[in-house]
Amino acid sequence: MAIGAALALAPRLRLALRDPAAETEALLGVAGWAAQFTPSVAIEFPDCVLLEVSGSLKLFGGLESLLERLRRGLAEMGWSAMSAGAPTPRAAFWLVLAEKQKFIGPMAELEPALAALSVEVLCCGNETLAALEAIGVRTLGELRALPREGVARRFGQGLLDEFDRALGRLPDPRNFFISPPQFRAAIELPSEVAQAEALLFAARRLIVQLAGFLAARSGGVQRIVLRLGHRDKAATEIAIGLVAPSRDAEHFTLLLRERLSNLTLAKPVREISLRADDVVPLADRNLGLLLEQGKPPGRWEQLIERLRARLGTDTVCGIANRAEHRPERAGVISDLGAKQLQLDFGERPFWLLDRPKPLAEVGAVPNHEGPLELLAGPERIESGWWDGDDVTRDYFIARMQNEALVWIYRERREGRWYLHGVFA
């Protein structure tokens, strides 16, 4: 249809130039995603992906459920697809070309099914098609009814060979698709998007593709980078780090949602791309034989990532003990899961104040909301003269008037009292 005619029918039609490079990229993306269903994926350019699934049917619970997963995944990535199946790759390809949503199991049913297809599915020039039409051959069945020698002489052996490959009489080897070591995918948005949260919808397509790519490699990633491309400004990059490798699309989406909801965009976004470089092996989790009661235990790594995505990376941390006599250095904030040292200190409080609090002294007795009663001590701590942060303190366990137990010390040089901890 000419552009003028199309516009006359639908005045609000939006026209776009066909972009073969983008199509190829998309096809490779789909192939990489589909590799999670079978290791044998072949590409029939420009728009077809062939999957050898007979070995995967049992794992995925039969053809119907496998097809359902394919359809759902493709839809989540924003594609619509025609699918067909046959015992040979060429026959399946022909069925799709003829737009027949058919799945042929046994070899015996193949020939009658192909006989009804138009000769247009053959990969030959327009001249041949015109010649076939001139002699009244419209379907593959009619072509097949002609004497072989005559067809070979008139149209070449290639046409017959193609037919024999479709019927499985000649071998039809394919180069299987090998997915790249790193993941890269991009989407150009149909219109510029200014709201960060609206990007999630588009990013979700890339995430589904990433999850399939990772499943195909039995791998996971610890870091993904979402890049937001603007018209004339440097791109915004959002890097999401994970505590442990993952390939869970829902989890990635959740993390991205938290990050995007905190983001204010300086410029509208034209395209987004997703990148994951280091794919590490990740084993699937085995399900228990018996169903466990209650909620299944969650993965703490995912919890940490959610908290960090929303509250900031620094807000979630662990604590560690150190071989140090100065109390403020013996117990510190650290990375998560820092190894615990086997150390023996004296009696220490559960809470340490961020900064020692000066206490008043009334009649040689330290006061904190009333006079303190010293229960144990002193424990003298003198340390740190070498780094200029030395302490000379006598620590006591003291009881407050309200019976709370606190850890206080007397700075020996200046003779002042400080509150340093609460026993709780």
Q: Which of residues 342-401 bind another protein (CB under 8 A)?
A: 343-354, 364-365, 372-383, 394, 396-397, 399-400
For residue 161, what are the contacts with CB-CB under 8 A and spacing of at least 6? 170
# binding residues, another protein (CB under 8 A): 76
Nearest-approach distance from CB 396 to another protein, in angstroms: 6
Residue placing its CB nearer to another protein in the complex, 59 or 360: 360
Whichever of 284 and 387 has its CB closer to another protein, that residue is 387
Q: Does 126 bind another protein (CB under 8 A)?
A: no
Does 179 help bind another protein (rule: CB under 8 A)? Answer: no
H-run or E-run covering 185 = strand 183-193
299 binds another protein (CB under 8 A): yes
In the bound state with another protein, the residue whose beta carbon lies nearer, of 229 and 377, is: 377
Asked if 14 interacts with another protein (CB under 8 A), we say no
Judged by beta carbon, residue 158 or residue 296, the one nearer another protein is 296
Using CB under 8 A as the binding rule, whether residue 321 contacts another protein is answered as: yes
For residues 141 and 152, is the Cβ–Cβ distance under 8 A?
no
Residue 325 binding another protein, by CB under 8 A: yes
Backbone angles phi, psi at 308, to 5 degrees: -65, -40
One residue of 107, 116, 194, 404 binding another protein per CB under 8 A: 404
The dihedral through the CA atoms of 241, 247, 253, 255 has a sign that is negative
Q: How far is the CB of 369 from another protein (least distance, A)?
A: 9
Binder of another protein out of 339, 387, 388, 413 (CB under 8 A) = 339
> Is residue 266 a contact point for another protein (CB under 8 A)?
no
Instruction: List the Cα angle 187/192/193 in 5-degree steps.
Output: 90
Closest separation in Å from C-beta 386 to another protein: 9
Q: Which of 175, 264, 286, 402 binds another protein (CB under 8 A)?
A: 402
C-beta of residue 60 within 8 angstroms of C-beta of residue 109:
no
CA distance 209 to 341: 44
Among 13, 82, 116, 336, binds another protein (CB under 8 A): 336
Q: Cα torsion at 370, 374, 378, 382 (round to 10°)? A: -20
244 binds another protein (CB under 8 A): no
CB 169 within 8 A of CB 87: no
Q: How far apart are CA 86 and CA 88, in angstroms?
A: 5
- Residues constituting the chain: 424
Contact of 326 with 356, CB cutoff 8 Å: no
288 binds another protein (CB under 8 A): no
Pairing of the two strands 373-383 and 416-422: unpaired
